[in-house]
Amino acid sequence: MDGILVIDKPAGMTSHDVVARVRRLTGLRRVGHAGTLDPMATGVLPILLGRATKVSDYLMRGDKSYEGTIRFGLETDTLDVTGVTIAEVDAETLTEERVRAAAKQYVGLIDQVPPKYSAIKVGGQPLYKSARRGLDMAEPEPRRIEITAFNIMNWRPGRRPTVDFSVSCSKGTYVRSLARDLGRAVGFSGTLASLRRNMSGAFKISDAVSLERLDAANLSSYLLPIKAGLADLAAVTVAAADVAAILNGGNAAFSQSTGDGPAGEIVVIGPAGETLAIHRQAGKGQTKPVRVIGEGSL
């Protein structure tokens, strides 16, 4: 079984918990995910089955969109409300206008410092493991990301004021860090109180199925083909006579236009619509293999 399940992850589960659930339903060992969601977060989580695990890096590089809530006047070690409280202050003087004005500075290309509680590896060790052990750590190095939209909505004043928001952003963005930075910009701590991912690359929340609805009998009806996650790449379809050579790492010849995919990459599709490989253009009408996928092959 090869393909992609778009799961609407519930709160309280890790991404690995969802992978384990799908692994039990399918009996497959090769199951992975494309883009971690924190246990508190809900929403779009692409789960990759079988040979779809070979394209996880392609799926994760797509843009993301989220909606959520930020609480001001509260600081925690994880930058969200599930963490240990470090400090609390009265933020009743904070205004919606001040938050809206500050949010504008985070739209565009920015350098963002990831949270210490994250899966980023330093010296081969995920930062969150070092943080949980209480090790003294410097802040991670800033990373260049892009925020294409950051909208402030539904302001609720008080000693711990909250605001709902939506954000569209590039791969590698930490929304917990965005909440922290917005809090710093307005002079009060900002902590993420809720988060829902509405889009991840080619997949939207409307594509997603809840774990409660998913079982061994209906799982295949929700399974998307691998090419559904590679919509940003140009595609060529080859004849049945060429399939074996491509699955063995051979080049492909084509006559149709492929457009301009990232880095000249092309999805090679078989006659039944299966994803055979990812190639790179190597001259007019010729490609060279980057990765053999072999969707549906024995």
Locus of tokens 């090769």: 30
In this prediction, residues 68-80 reach a mean pLDDT of 95
* Residue 184 contacts residue 190 (beta carbons within 8 Å): yes
Expressed as residue numbers, the domain containing 39 is: 3-61+202-227
Nearest to 263 by CA among 223, 242, 233: 233
Number of folded domains in the chain?
A: 3
Here the tokens at position 262 are: 């990232």
Confidence of residue 71 (pLDDT cuts 50, 70, 90): very high
Phi-psi region of 147 (alpha: psi -120 to 50; beta: other; left: phi over 0): beta
The CATH code of the domain that includes 261 is 2.30.130.10
DSSP label at 165? E
**Does 261 lie in the same domain as 251?**
yes
* Residue 127 contacts residue 121 (beta carbons within 8 Å): yes
* Residue 232 contacts residue 247 (beta carbons within 8 Å): no
pLDDT tens for 119-166 read 555 555 555 554 555 556 667 788 999 999 999 999 999 999 999 999
**Does 186 lie in the same domain as 84?**
yes
Q: Tell me the catalytic residues.
A: 38
**Does 96 lie in the same domain as 144?**
yes
Can you give the C-alpha Rg of the chain in angstroms? 22
In this prediction, residues 252-259 reach a mean pLDDT of 60
Poorest-confidence range of 53-62, 198-207, 242-251, 254-263? 254-263
Higher pLDDT, 252 or 35: 35
Please report how many Cα atoms fall inside a 13 Å half-sphere around the Cα of residue 296, on the Cβ side. 15
pLDDT tens for 286-297 read 778 899 999 877
- Cα 161 to Cα 230: distance, rounded to the nearest angstrom: 41
- 0.75 surpassed by pTM: yes
**Does 190 lie in the same domain as 218?**
no
